[in-house]
Amino acid sequence: MAKKDRASKKQDRTALEKPQTAEVAWLANQWQEHPVVGMTPLRMHRLLTDAEQGNLQAQADLFCDMEERDGHIFSEMTKRKQAVNGLPWGVKPPKNASEQEKKIAEEVYEWLDDIEDFEMFLFEAMDAVGHGYSAQEIKWHRLGNLWLPESFEHLQPRFIMTPYEQPNELRLNDGSLGGLEFQPFGWFIHRHKAKSGYVSRSGLFRVLAWPFLFKNYGVRDIMEFLETYGLPSKLGKYPAGATAEEKMTLMRAVMSIGRNAGGIIPQGMSIDFNDATDGDTNNHMNLVKWCEQTQSKIIVGGTLLSQADGKTSTNAQSQTHENQFDVINKSDAKQLARSINDSLVTAMMQLNYPNITPDRYPKFWFDTSDTEDLESFSKSLGEMVDTGMKIPLTWAHERAGIPMPADDQEAVLARVQPQMPQLAMNSWQPHLMNNLLAVNSAQIPIDEQAVQLQLRDQAKGAQQTAELWMQDLITKINAGQDESEILAVLSELYPSDDEPVLQEKLTQLIFAAEVFGRLSAQADAGDE
């Protein structure tokens, strides 16, 4: 029977058409109260105890007052709420995913990315850090054959309760004893574990309540002291037998004479002025400082993120506190991602892909991985590769924070290779040039690189001459003709040049032939 009830709830799509809160008239007649007014340790104890028994309303009102009235709590809690918004996020397919499952994961990512004010959705969800829970009502809309979330409406924490016999079950507070169950598809519920215990005790504000109360005592005493600081103490005296009306007249005169610098009293009465109020507020301010430091430790894991005094704080201490906050932020992100998968991704998949089993649903995730400094990482990585370490390419990409190419068709960055001059016209020269371009300069000693650069510059100057008569002269050189005959051939090609010029051209020719011969021999040896 229980299985049938759960199945019927999964198929119930009432929340897609009409918000559940519109049907609960009790919610519209409730206003937030302010239990912080006149709060005492005894009242605080009773309020927290009632929350443990299912009545979360007064506790939720107190927590809202704490965040609104205490600027330090508000500042630190805002850091916690907004930190998750700074993390990249994505949707990944299940393990060993098929092509269809990969496409579905991409589609779910587009659904979430298209939600307007998605960052505010995350911010409202993080309200659960303080209360232990947060609820947002989902407004759906139809886009073709798809049901997609259009917007989210945050529900005040005071409108949520837990049944007395089920302290971990959240219900909508409709005024009844057991509460109203949340409709399927109608809500995004985020339950956050800031501390262990039932949901009523899992919020961070439970720990902050006592420092908040003690801080208020200290601040109140400071304000009262400042009201009378520098003013003389005034003591009124009335004669025996004075009536109650005469006593009140004297009291009004005593109370107003400090501000008005004058007044009247009946004859026979007097006002004595004693020494002005003096002293300091150091003890009270130390109490306030201790409370705020405790609040910072509770919320962000340290004090130097907001209270560095420049005296005792050091850069190492600040870095330690930042690292602790990163640990807290990662935990927040993982818990929120779990709720998004349970409440939102699951709902979208059930509505739009009802035939897919939950174990094959895509997963929402925040990228909380730590990336390396690229300069130092690339240097150390190259050294480790040179020593023979086998490092997976995917691991290197993850540590560097650089995504892998989606496929072979995606354009990737590549180092531009320097172009070598076209020195060759013979049939053996293209093969030689290909080998030359394939040489990795990083594997050649510095002195040999310098020689090759010098040869390249000199060969470039001889290129134009070599292109005109290289083939013919190489043939004659191979035939064994001497220098004089070669000079005669050159004089026929360049009748206007004298012998020194022809000698220079012959020198360039012999030099180029030696270079090509040497490089060709190295290339052939490498092929062997």
* 452 plus 480 within the same structural domain: yes
Q: Determine the 3-state secondary structure of 168 from DSSP.
A: coil
Predicted local confidence at residue 354, as pLDDT = 93
What is the Rg, in whole angstroms, of the alpha carbon atoms belonging to the chain? 42
Token digits for 398?
A: 């993850």
Q: What is the pLDDT of residues 230-242, one digit of tens each?
A: 555 666 777 777 8
Predicted local confidence at residue 433, as pLDDT = 44
Domain presence at residue 142: yes
Q: Give the structural domain span for 498.
A: 429-527
The mean predicted confidence, pLDDT, of the chain is 77
Q: What is the pLDDT of residues 141-193, one digit of tens each?
A: 999 899 999 999 999 999 999 998 898 999 998 888 888 999 999 999 999 99
Predicted local confidence at residue 9, as pLDDT = 46
* 401 plus 338 within the same structural domain: no
Domain presence at residue 326: yes
Rounded distance between C-alpha atoms, residue 127 and residue 156, angstroms: 10
* 384 plus 493 within the same structural domain: no
pLDDT over 80 at 342, yes or no: yes
* 124 plus 169 within the same structural domain: yes
pLDDT over 60 at 459, yes or no: no
* 407 plus 510 within the same structural domain: no
* 31 plus 70 within the same structural domain: yes
Q: What is the pLDDT of residues 74-91, one digit of tens each?
A: 999 999 999 999 899 999
* 409 plus 494 within the same structural domain: no
Of the candidate ranges 96-100, 123-127, 200-204, 369-373, the one whose mean pLDDT is the lowest: 369-373
Domain presence at residue 256: no
Predicted local confidence at residue 384, as pLDDT = 79
Residue pointed to by tokens 């929402």: 364
* 79 plus 168 within the same structural domain: yes
* 399 plus 476 within the same structural domain: no
Domain presence at residue 440: yes
Predicted local confidence at residue 182, as pLDDT = 92
Q: How many domains are contained in the chain? A: 3
Domain presence at residue 278: no
Token digits for 26?
A: 């009790």
Rounded distance between C-alpha atoms, residue 501 and residue 497, angstroms: 6
pLDDT over 60 at 410, yes or no: yes
Report the candidate in 281, 236, 280, 239 with the shortest Cα–Cα distance to residue 258.
236
* Most confidently modeled range among 4-18, 39-53, 419-433, 470-484: 39-53
Mean pLDDT value of segment 434-448: 51
Tell me the one-letter amino acid at 174: D
Predicted local confidence at residue 218, as pLDDT = 84
Domain presence at residue 180: yes
Q: Where are the alpha helices (DSSP H) in 177-260?
A: 205-228, 244-260
Domain presence at residue 296: no
- Per-residue burial over 230-250, b if 16 or more Cβ lie within 10 Å, else e, is eeeeeebebeeeeeeebeebb
Helix (H) or strand (E) holding 191: strand 187-191
Question: If you count DSSP H runs as helices and E runs as strands, how many of each does the chain have, helices first?
Answer: 20, 9
Q: What is the pLDDT of residues 272-320, one digit of tens each?
A: 666 555 566 788 788 889 999 999 999 988 776 555 555 555 555 556 6
Tell me the one-letter amino acid at 486: I
Question: What are the C-alpha distances in Å from 342 to residues 11, 84, 187?
Answer: 17, 18, 11
Mean pLDDT value of segment 247-260: 71
Predicted local confidence at residue 436, as pLDDT = 46
Using the 3D structure, point to which of 366, 383, 399 is the last residue of a domain: 366
Domain presence at residue 420: no
Maximum separation of any 2 CA atoms in the chain, in Å: 151
* 71 plus 128 within the same structural domain: yes
Using the 3D structure, point to which of 380, 414, 448 is the last residue of a domain: 414
Residue 514 pLDDT level (bands cut at 50, 70, 90): low
Rounded distance between C-alpha atoms, residue 284 and residue 288, angstroms: 6
Rounded distance between C-alpha atoms, residue 436 and residue 417, angstroms: 12
* 385 plus 449 within the same structural domain: no
Predicted local confidence at residue 237, as pLDDT = 75
CB contact set of 191 (below 8 Å; sequence gap of 6+) = 128, 132, 133, 170, 199, 202, 339
* 478 plus 354 within the same structural domain: no
